Amino acid sequence: QVQLVESGGGLVQPGGSLRLSCAASGSIFSIKTMGWYRQAPGKQRELVAAITGGGMTNYVDSVKGRFTISRDNAKNTVYLEMNSLNPNDTAVYYCNADIRVRYSSWSTYWGQGTQVTVSS
């Protein structure tokens, strides 16, 4: 069984910063791409940022220059550093990872989501 547990969400004022963390645990053999998605009320879930096992990253245009994704492979953890937050960043943020469990094939796993609210 694999679990992704997110932390770090909350309420922040416009212009502020937050750091999200997502730790994967369980019978993990290997992890490929890890990413962060978000879903605002009434909108579809969108990819915010992703990072490959080799460290290559990509971002949605709206967060480029403000958000930074990173990972600690030894801890099976992915981070999202969010700066210069604005109300449009308000959403539930989900982490996601492509994981291979021992003696099994690759599957995509999701965290439970963490709320980020940007408001004065």
Which contiguous run of DSSP H or E holds residue 24? strand 18-26
Compute φ and ψ for 18, nearest 5 degrees.
-145, 155
Span 11-66, pLDDT tens digits: 999 999 999 999 999 999 999 999 999 999 999 999 999 999 999 999 999 999 99
CB 89 within 8 A of CB 116: yes
C-alpha distances in Å from residue 75, one per residue of 23, 31, 67, 111, 119:
7, 11, 21, 16, 32
Q: What is the pLDDT of residues 42-57, one digit of tens each?
A: 999 999 999 999 999 9
